[in-house]
A = this chain, B = another copy of it.
Amino acid sequence: MSDTITKTFIQENTVLLNDYLKRHLPEDIANEQLSSAMQYSVLAGGKRLRPLLLLAMVKTFGGSINESTLKVAASLELLHTYSLIHDDLPAMDDDDLRRGIPTNHKKYGEAVAILAGDGLLTLSFEWLATAGLNTNTTVKLTRDLAQAAGAAGMVAGQVSDILGENKQLTFKQLKQLHRQKTGALIKYTALATNDIVNPEVDNQKLLIQFAESFGLAFQIYDDLEDVVGTQQALGKAVRKDANEHKNTYPGLRGVPQTILDLKKCVQYCHQALSKLEKNHVSTELLQGFLNYFQLDEEEK
Contact = CB atoms under 8 A, between A and B. Distances in A.
Interface in A207-227: none
Interface stretch (A123-131, A186-194, A247-255, A285-293): A123-131
A201 interface: no
A86 B135 contact: no
A30 to B, nearest CB: 4
A135 B138 CA distance: 8
A39 to B, nearest CB: 11
A118 B31 contact: no
Contacts of A125: 125, 142, 145-146
Contacts of A112: 159, 162-163
Given A34-B155, A135-B135, A91 B119 contact: no
Contact of A146 (B126, B138, B156, B180): B126
Nearest to A158: B115
Given A112-B159, A142-B142, A143-B130, A151 B30 contact: yes
Contact of A30 (B118, B126, B143, B153): B153
Task: State the main secondary structure of chain A at its contact with B.
Answer: helix
Contacts of A258: none
A2 interface: no
A35 interface: yes
Contacts of A29: 151-152, 156
Contact of A162 (B111, B123, B180): B111
Given A142-B125, A143-B126, A162-B112, A151 B91 contact: no
Interface in A142-191: 142-143, 145-147, 149-153, 155-160, 162-163, 180
A18 to B, nearest CB: 20
Interface of A: 26, 29-31, 33-35, 38, 82, 86, 89, 91-92, 109-112, 114-115, 117-123, 125-126, 128-130, 135-136, 138-140, 142-143, 145-147, 149-153, 155-160, 162-163, 180
28 contacts: A26-B152, A30-B152, A30-B160, A30-B180, A31-B156, A31-B160, A31-B163, A34-B159, A35-B151, A86-B114, A91-B111, A112-B159, A112-B162, A115-B158, A115-B162, A120-B151, A121-B121, A122-B150, A123-B150, A123-B151, A128-B142, A129-B140, A129-B146, A135-B136, A135-B139, A138-B142, A139-B139, A139-B142
